[in-house]
Structure 1
Amino acid sequence: MKIDFKNFSIKKSVASAEFIKCDVRERFADVLYMAVNGIRAHTLAMKIFKSDGPTDYTYEEVMMIKRTAENFCTPAFIDGLRAQISE
């Protein structure tokens, strides 16, 4: 499954239908790096940080990304991630 952390869409507000595109690679990689234990989290954090546009992730990586986002990120980020995963 491909996820693009470089051109990540986030809603402007809960009531808005407008989105902004932003580069969340470093910020989300830092969440993984600082908050999730294990070498797999480290490897995934570096993969996201070094990514350049849509990047393929394994099922296991996507599950780690989803769990991390749901526990440590804003609802706006979670919605943006869900939108990409459901495409």
Structure 2
Amino acid sequence: MSKIDFQHFKIYASISHKASHTVDARENFADMIYNNVNGIKAHALALKIYNGEGGVEYTDEEVSLMGTVAERLCVPGFIDGLREQLKNNKTE
């Protein structure tokens, strides 16, 4: 399990990670999943992200799906922000 806060999500603006901005990524990322991944699990995950407030716990299966979507559809600054939260917010 991992905790991710899409409501206060850091996106890096430079490869050095010296510049970043924090955004509410819930709707945009949920829409990516909703519009690009088939199946009821993807639908449920999109709704969980969209409705989540603050740090929300996600299963390893959900994290795997998010990683696949991010790597296919997101800019590197978003991917690095997601990886950072996953690294820093691992739960048991």
Amino acid at match of 1:7: H
> Alignment partner of 1:53: what SS?
coil
Structure having greater relative contact order (Cα 8 Å, sep ≥ 6): 2
- Flag as ranges the 4+ runs of structure 1 deviating above 3 A: none
Identity of aligned residues (%): 47
Q: Point out where structure 1 has 5 or more consecutive residues left out of the alignment.
A: none
Counterpart of 1:32, as a letter, is I
Residue number in structure 2 paired with 1:73: 74
What residue number does 1:85 align with? 86
**Alignment length, in residue pairs?**
87
What is the CA–CA distance in structure 1 between the aligned matches of 2:60 and 2:40, rounded to whole Å? 17
1:56 counterpart residue number: 57
Structure 2: gaps (5+ residues): none
1: distance between equivalents of 2:77 and 2:19? 12
TM-score by length of 1: 0.95
